[in-house]
Amino acid sequence: STVTVQETATAPDGDQVASVGSANQLAAVSYLYSQPIQIEAGWQFSVSAFAAGSYEPGDAQTAGGALVGLWFANATNLYPTTSSADTVIVSATNLVEEPLYTTLSGTVSAPVSGYMRLALRSTTTGFQRVFWDQIIVRRI
């Protein structure tokens, strides 16, 4: 997959979005994830993001997005070296085309102590892209 910062006047927050799509126009599932967030087992987090599809004329609007909690033993580990199973917090299929955005939000509890990275999972095929903006993680 490829990730770029894309300028768009319709971004929910500012004028740029993260744009994720397949590098070779085949079906792809990719994870773009945050810096590590220190956690303790049982802590809860509220997470949210805006996601939209970007499609070529005539494309089926089938791109998908999800917010996923990834759990790590230390701040330097990266996927797939996780310390607990991934947690799908919320997902959406058939994302509407930009300039409309779907709000993804949910709550996640840390299953272990260590570090969490919030992953933006994008599911695309062909020339589809997923636009991401205003990703927020808050401890509650």
What tens digit of pLDDT does each residue of 102-112 get?
999 999 999 99
CA–CA distances in Å: residue 74 to residues 38, 60, 86, 137: 9, 41, 15, 19
Residue 65 backbone phi and psi in degrees, to 5: -145, 155
How sure is the predictor about 23, in pLDDT bands with cuts at 50, 70 and 90? Answer: confident
Average pLDDT over residues 74-101: 95
Taking the complete model, does pTM exceed 0.75, yes or no?
Answer: yes
How sure is the predictor about 59, in pLDDT bands with cuts at 50, 70 and 90? Answer: confident
For residue 64, the one-letter residue type is G
The residues, any chain, with a CB within 8 Å of residue 60's CB and separated by 6 or more, are none
